[in-house]
Amino acid sequence: MDSVVNLLGVEYYPMKSDLNRKVLFTIKESYGFDIDPLYSSYLIVETDTITKTVLNVEFTETEDKRNLIEKMFTE
């Protein structure tokens, strides 16, 4: 996991699990004209804490709630 963090950067959010370690990296967040994010995309990396191998890599994104004007100014 240290190698993954070194490659992707230090901004990540650990997620607790029994045997596996999941870490969420923010790829993109767009706030539009508000303080609450209207669009987010994340990369989730899951590793085995015993063998120290990567088990799963997942890309996920939220529904884009920005209007056309917000998309033009926040891209």
Buried b (16+ CB within 10 A) or exposed e, 13-49: eeeeeeeebbbbbeeeebebeeeeebbbebbbbbbee
**DSSP result, 4-46:** HHHHH-S-EEEE--SSEEEEEEEEEEE-TTSSS-SEEEEEEEE
What is the model's pLDDT at position 10? 63
What is the model's pLDDT at position 17? 57
What is the model's pLDDT at position 12? 63
52: nearest Cα among 4, 6, 12: 4
What pLDDT, in 10s, does the model give residues 15-42? 665 556 787 888 888 887 778 788 888 8
What is the model's pLDDT at position 65? 81
